[in-house]
Amino acid sequence: MTIIAEYGQFFVILAALFGLVMAAGIGMNDVANAMGTSVGSKALTIKQAILVAMLFEFAGAFLAGGQVTSTIRKGIIDPSSLAQTPELLIYGMLASLLAAGIWLLIATRNGWPVSTTHSIVGAIIGFGAVGIGVDAVKWGKVVSIVGSWIVTPLLAGVISYLIFRSVQKLILATDKPLERAKTYVPFYMFLAGFAIALVTFLKGLKHVGLHLSTLEAYGYALLIGIGVALIGIFFIRKLKFDPNADKDFHYTNVEKIFAILMVVTACGMAFAHGSNDVANAIGPLAAIVSIVANNGEIVSKSALPLWILLLGGFGIVAGLAIYGHKVIATIGKGITELTPSRGFAAELSAASTVVIASGTGLPVSTTQTLVGAVLGVGFARGISALNLNVIRTIFMSWVITLPVGAALSILFFFIFKSIF
């Protein structure tokens, strides 16, 4: 306890710094994954994707990022075993942030699309099992999180497959695909706006003082969905179509309409990612701030200071702007060839899956969800449409991330323990 009284403010400053590094790593690597489909399908340029992500990632992190934080903060380690030595939890959370942040920087430099959730969860498991004791880790919770890494990409793959098949049936495989696109694309826009708004209202805004009933949430989400659809109709009507452009590729003009829809789903994906993955950076930081604020007492519930959400959102945006282009440039083209219609199906599916997971408090991997969604779109066109070598490399990067995060965390944990 005396260590916390003596170094409390220093621990908070250090945690804020490491949390910023971790958030920047998320921006560099994971946000790049989230926006890669938009760039790969040529719906957005890299600069436009970064601007969209900066705005909506920050909004998602700040407005809807509080729900998942509790899972990362106290769901993996049993804090009761540290009641007499809360400083060990501080060392462990500092070590986890630093370990995951460094690994993300290394992965991004090499262009590997790894999972930030794997990184931080692996780091927390590592210090918990070795630094405190195997019994300190809530293995049941770990199993459920690991299970989500299988379920969510599978779910995203199935949803994206069904969405793209509906696009094929309603629009692409008809006699007049352009006219059908003008009719049905606004409906898809409504779905995107409605789904993301609904889960945000139901689950994500309590920490900013907005408590809505279920009926109110549905009503507001319905209005937002209609608003998004009307905006889509407005921009579709302003498009200029060139009949000659369809000679080389039959769906050139149709894809112009889907490019507008892709912008909507890109905004949704960025918001969904910010709401879910900001917890990877600020969950451990929130735990340290809570322990210091309560003079070493590990409380079961504590208010999440808004400055922590702001720091997480800022870090994600800064990392994306500085180095996000590296993974963006590769992820959107590697798995399968994307057009706006294919990219839309993948992004809407991934965004819906991530927002649902965020609302239930389960920290899923956005990378895995998006890859699952892109695979689903690829399967809709046949196995030959997938680049299996790239998929193999991505899976390998997922496998090594958790043990690397754990090993680095253990190393830093014992360094901090010896210093203080």
Q: How many CB atoms lie within 10 A of CB 40?
A: 25
Residue 98: the pLDDT is 95
Q: What is the 3-state secondary structure (H, E, C) of 148-171?
A: HHHHHHHHHHHHHHHHHHHHHHHH
> Which of residues 376 and 66 earns the better pLDDT score?
376
Which residue in 35, 96, 76, 110 sits closest to 316, CA to CA? 35
Amino acid sitting at position 267? C
The H or E element that residue 181 is part of is helix 177-199
Sign of CA dihedral 31, 36, 39, 41: negative
Question: Measuring CA to CA, which residue among 116, 167, 175 is closest to residue 365?
Answer: 116
Both structure tokens of 248:
């080389």
Cα torsion angle, 243, 249, 251, 253, sign: negative
Residue range 382-404: mean pLDDT, rounded: 77
Name the one residue in this structure whose structure tokens are 């907005």: 210
pLDDT tens digit sequence for 121-141: 889 999 888 888 888 888 887
CA distance 118 to 406: 10
**By percentage, how much of the chain surpasses pLDDT 70?**
86
Instruction: Please state, in angstroms and rounded to a whole number, the distance separating the CA atoms of residues 152 and 289.
Output: 31
Tell me how far apart the alpha carbons of residues 32 and 40 are, in angstroms, rounded to a whole number. Answer: 11
CA distance 38 to 386: 18
The pLDDT score that the predictor gives to residue 14 is: 94
Return d(Cα 383, Cα 281) in angstroms, integer: 36
180-193 in b/e burial notation, b at 16+ Cβ within 10 A?
bbbebbbebbbbbb
Identity of the amino acid at 299? V
Residue 41: pLDDT band with limits 50, 70, 90: confident
Count CB neighbours of 259 within 10 A.
21
Task: Give start and end residues of each alpha helix (H) in 173-299.
Answer: 177-199, 214-238, 252-293
For residues 352 and 309, is the Cβ–Cβ distance under 8 A?
Answer: no
Percent of the chain with pLDDT over 90: 17
User: Phi, psi at residue 387, to the nearest 5°?
Assistant: -90, 95
Say yes or no to pLDDT of 72 above 80: no
169 contacts: CB under 8 Å, gap ≥ 6: none
Range of weakest confidence among 141-155, 204-218, 334-348, 373-387:
204-218
Inter-residue contact 74 to 141 (CB < 8 Å)? no
Which residue shows structure tokens 């999180």? 145
Domain count, the chain: 1
Contact indicator for 154, 372 with CB cutoff of 8 Å? yes
Exposed (0-12), middle (13-18) or buried (19+): which is 205, by Cβ within 10 Å? middle
- Percentages (nearest 5) of helix, strand, coil residues in the chain: 85, 0, 15
pLDDT digits (tens, 9 = 90+) for 202-234: 655 655 566 778 788 889 989 999 999 999 899
Going by the DSSP 8-state scheme, the letter that residue 203 receives in this structure is I
Minimum mean pLDDT among 180-194, 210-224, 371-385: which range? 371-385
pLDDT for residue 176: 85
Note the pLDDT of residue 112: 77
50: containing domain = 2-419
